[in-house]
Amino acid sequence: MSTEKLALIPLLPLLAAVLTCGMRCGRRAAAVAIGAMSLSLAIALVMLANAWAHGGVQTVSLADWLVVGAAKIQFSLLLDPLSACMAAMVTFVGLLIFIYSSGYMKDDPRCARFFCYLSLFAAGMLGLVLANNLLLLFMSWEIVGVASYLLIGFWFHKPAAAAAGKKAFIVTRIGDMGFLIGILLAFTQAGTLELFDNGNGLLEKIPTGVVWGIGAAKLISLFLFCGAIGKSGQLPLHVWLPDAMEGPTPVSALIHAATMVAAGVFLVARTFPLFVEGQTLPLVAWVGGLTAFVAALIALGQYDIKRILAYSTVSQLGLMMVGLGTAATGAVGMFHLFTHAFFKALLFLGAGSIIHGCHEEQDIRRMGGIARAMPITTAAYLCGALALVAFPFTSGYFSKDAVLISAYGADRNLFYLCALTSLITALYVTRQCVYVFIGTHRGAQAPHESPPVLTAPLVILAAFALGLGGLAGNSLLAKLGAKHSEHPFAVIATSWAVALGGMLLGWVIYARRDLGRTTDPLALSALANKFYFDELYAATVGRLWTALTWLVVMLQELLAGVCELGVQLTQATGQFFARSVDVRLIDELTMDGLARRFHKGGEVATGFQTGLLSGYLRWIALGALAVGVFVHWLWK
């Protein structure tokens, strides 16, 4: 199959989205969406084989989107091992989640709309990973964002869901504005936004200009990283991701664990040459490291099964950033992204199955004893948990080891931070598993196992969570361009120690505790309250924003007052002219007044016209006398 067919990978889900948007029947919509996704997966696998064989970058131009003079924005796609792996991962995990959703959402009256949004999301995500043009990448990125907004707020009758959707959109858009500025910078500096273009692409010929006294590559990479921070929930823009758990659980698995949140990491890996040239990688690494640490700590204090996983995702995304920021290529970070996509999707879907089985209960304090009631889900979930902990020889172990090795080589402090994060990771995972699976059930209704449509995807994902790293890890790393590196004993020892030690510690703390009734020793209030990030933002940025709005409103009021005065003045002037000048002076005094006086004069004169001859004679005599007197007076 030629690379021309690459466009079908995002276009098929898009077609499914268009077809399903008007449907009423949820099952038919699910069938259409799943069918489209299966075809996409098939093509993506063929393309993966193609990319594996070819090894380099192949590009396809589909159409000119915008041509203005010499500037040209193309819809163009690219195939290389990175994009092929991402496309295959997104379609595969996506397909499993679509199948899971068809069971999970089957009773929802708006099920068809759900699949429409999911398909729209998949189209955007696949466009994002395959784009060869930075603007097309950004456009798909925004589509992904809006699909996420719609899916988080899918149950729109819940105010919390609607608010969470809005928060996700706005917080990521803060980062997106940075992304956009980065694109504008790249466009004005390089004159093109094509990533690869026979040696003239943005990533092949790195712009060397200077803006604001800083090198273009440095600035572009920094601004692009802003976008990555927003989308991948890195500090300080991580606050939207835990709230996004208000959406249906398959959404959390697809968007907020496996694919969309990884888009930021992917963006850094995609535009890696700019980061290398701009020497901004240490910043990426440290932002990632701090995020990983802080989010892992917060996860310790959460009781909502999905929120624990959400913070865990933020933390793991941070580790991916560390992997990107400390290595010479994007391979290590991307490797962790791939393994994480499988085991985190598994964990979320498992959590969904547990929530479903516990009658929509999400609080781990009211769970417990799930292992006996839901054996398949439990077994699958534990596979995911082990991978998350990086238990030796699971897929998470290989990828996290790669990150740790890379951090060890680049910056020892960062390595310690990551090791500590891994320890906390093992701790919170053990805490969650003990709460959920061990002991007796603390909820009101007895839990039950989920139907096969929910558990089958879990089992498949569990196999990948255990096996992917060991079986495909080395070839994946090699194809993504990783340099071969030493395995220092210290790193391996640390890795084993923190994983096993953390689990042991967690077991010691939680196994014999009367969970749900006594207080949790690690859920400190600072952790339970997420280090007060939301409150901090409300008090600073929120206040500033409100003050700014208030200022503009006040100025507007002031101007409106002045304007009002003008209008009043005009009205008053008008009325002055209308009443005083027009009515009084012109009408009453001049025009009407004269007329009235003439009229009056006429009336008086009428009085004389009596028709009596004697009266007239009298007046004639008087008149003659008056004339005589007057003439006499004149002549004298």
Partner 1 sequence: MISALTFAPVLAALLILLLPERWARRLALGGALASLVITGCLLGQFNPSGGLQFVEKAAWIPALHVDYFVGLDGTNALVLLLATILAPLAVLASPAQMPRSYYLLLSLQFTGLFGAFTALNFFHWFIFWEMALVPAFFLIKLFGHGEDRHRAALSFFLFTVLGSVAMLLGFLFLSNGGQESFDFIALADKAKSGALQPGGWVFIAVLAGLCVKVPLVPLHLWQAPAYAAAPVPVTMLLTGVMSKMGVYGFLRIIVPIFPQELRAHAETLMVLALVTILWGAFLALRQTQLKRLLAFSSLNHVAFCVFGVGVLGIATNAGTVDVQRLATQGIILQMFAHGITAAGLFYMAGLLEQRAGKDGLNDFGGLSAATPRLAIAFYLLAMGSLGLPFLAGFAAEFLIFASAFAVAPTLTVVATLGLLATAVFLLTALQRLFTGPTPEHVKFMPDLSLEESLLLVPVLALVFWVGLIPGRWLAFSAN
CB 556 to partner 1: min, Å: 6
Of 468, 460, 459, 253, residue with least CA distance to 375: 459
Short-list 559, 312, 290, CA closest to 426: 312
Q: Token pair 């397909």 is at which residue?
A: 95
Please tell me what DSSP assigns to residue 66.
E
Least distance to partner 1 from the beta carbon of 287, Å?
21
CB of 65 to partner 1, least distance (A): 7
What is the C-alpha separation between 506 and 300, in angstroms, rounded? 11
Q: Using alpha carbons, select from 115, 113, 90 the residue that is nearest to residue 40.
A: 90
CB of 566 to partner 1, least distance (A): 7
Distances (CA, A) of 276 to 78, 271, 298, 411, 557: 21, 9, 32, 16, 51
Query: CA torsion angle for 246, 248, 249, 250 (degrees, to 10)?
Result: -140
24-28 long-range contacts, CB within 8 A, separation 24+: 24/112, 25/112, 26/105, 26/106, 26/108, 26/111, 26/112, 26/114, 26/115, 27/102, 27/106, 27/111, 28/112
Residue 120: closest CA among 320, 261, 315, 255: 255
Give the nearest distance from C-beta 145 to partner 1 in angstroms.
Answer: 9
Q: Quote the least distance from Cβ 172 to partner 1, whole Å.
A: 10
Torsion sign across C-alpha atoms 465, 468, 473, 477: negative
Cβ proximity to partner 1, 219 vs 355, nearer residue: 219
- C-beta of 176 vs 520, nearer to partner 1: 176
* Runs of H (alpha helix) within 358-451: 370-373, 375-389, 395-410, 412-437
Of 138 and 381, the one with the shorter C-beta distance to partner 1 is 138
User: From CA 616, how far away is CA 610, in angstroms rounded?
Assistant: 8
For residues 166 and 584, which CB has a smaller minimum distance to partner 1 in the complex?
166
CB of 170 or CB of 497, closer to partner 1: 170
In a 10 Å sphere around its CB, with 0-12 CB exposed, 13-18 middle and 19+ buried, how is residue 476 labelled? Answer: buried
Q: How far is the CB of 243 from partner 1 (least distance, A)?
A: 14
Q: How far is the CB of 572 from partner 1 (least distance, A)?
A: 12
d(CA 455, CA 433): 18
Contact footprint for partner 1 (CB under 8 A) = 64-71, 135, 138-140, 142-143, 146, 149, 153, 156-157, 159, 161-163, 166, 169-170, 173-174, 177, 180-181, 184-185, 187-191, 211-212, 548-549, 552-553, 555-556, 559-560, 563, 566-567, 570-571
Which residue number, 446 or 563, has a Cβ lying nearer to partner 1?
563
Q: How far apart are CA 133 and CA 618, in angstroms?
A: 115
CB of 189: closest distance to partner 1 in angstroms? 7
Residue among 207 and 325 whose Cβ is closer to partner 1: 207
- The DSSP call for residue 237 is S
CB of 155 to partner 1, least distance (A): 9
How far is C-alpha 378 from the geometric centre of its chain's CA atoms? 31
Report helix, strand or coil for 65. Answer: strand
What H or E segment, with its residue span, contains residue 474? helix 452-479
Kindly state the smallest distance separating residue 107's Cβ from partner 1, in Å: 17
Residue number, 549 or 610, with CB nearest to partner 1: 549
Compare residues 22 and 55 and give the one whose CB is closer to partner 1. 22
- Identify which of 437, 436, 433, 432 has the alpha carbon closest to the alpha carbon of residue 300: 432
For partner 1, the closer CB: 77 or 331: 77
Measured from the Cβ of residue 173, the count of other Cβ atoms closer than 10 Å reads 17
* 8 Å CB contact between 278 and 218: yes
Tell me whether residue 551 or residue 581 sits nearer to partner 1 (CB atom).
551
Residue number, 37 or 73, with CB nearest to partner 1:
73
Could you tell me the smallest distance in angstroms from the CB atom of residue 154 to partner 1? 10
Taking the complex as a whole, the smallest distance from the CB of residue 146 to partner 1 amounts, in Å, to 6
Q: Closest CB to partner 1 among 170 and 589?
A: 170
Residue 341, beta-bridge partner list: none
As separate numbers, helices (DSSP H) first and strands (DSSP E) second, the chain gives: 25, 4
